[in-house]
Amino acid sequence: MVSLLQQLIQDAWQNAAFEGISMDCLGLASIQATQSGLIEVNGEKIPALRGHRLSDGQPLTVYPGEVPARLPGQAFWGAAGLSV
């Protein structure tokens, strides 16, 4: 996740470095709203998040997806139904 953040702010980071400003990226969480858990998909256990739905407070366990190591290219965002 830190690598992805670094890629997102790369231009600003380079500008700061040019001005002699040192920067660092780190990942941290300030609120724990979920717990880790496991779900079974096709007989394989994969990491998931457990929490509660906001609409009715019922427990919910979901697979949030993978955090990419690198910032996806333009084609990814269009194919995923997302706009940039």
The span from the CA of 32 to the CA of 28, in Å, is 11
Task: State whether 52 and 20 are in the same domain.
Answer: no
Asked if 52 contacts 37 with a C-beta cutoff of 8 angstroms, the reply is no
Task: State whether 43 and 19 are in the same domain.
Answer: no
Task: State whether 5 and 26 are in the same domain.
Answer: yes
Judged against a pLDDT cut of 70, whether residue 83 lies above it is answered with no
Judged against a pLDDT cut of 70, whether residue 80 lies above it is answered with no
Residue type, 37: G
Domain that holds residue 84: 31-84
pTM for the full predicted model: 0.45
**CA dihedral for 24, 30, 34, 35, sign (positive or negative):** positive
Task: State whether 24 and 35 are in the same domain.
Answer: no
Task: State whether 80 and 39 are in the same domain.
Answer: yes
Judged against a pLDDT cut of 90, whether residue 56 lies above it is answered with yes
Task: State whether 59 and 43 are in the same domain.
Answer: yes
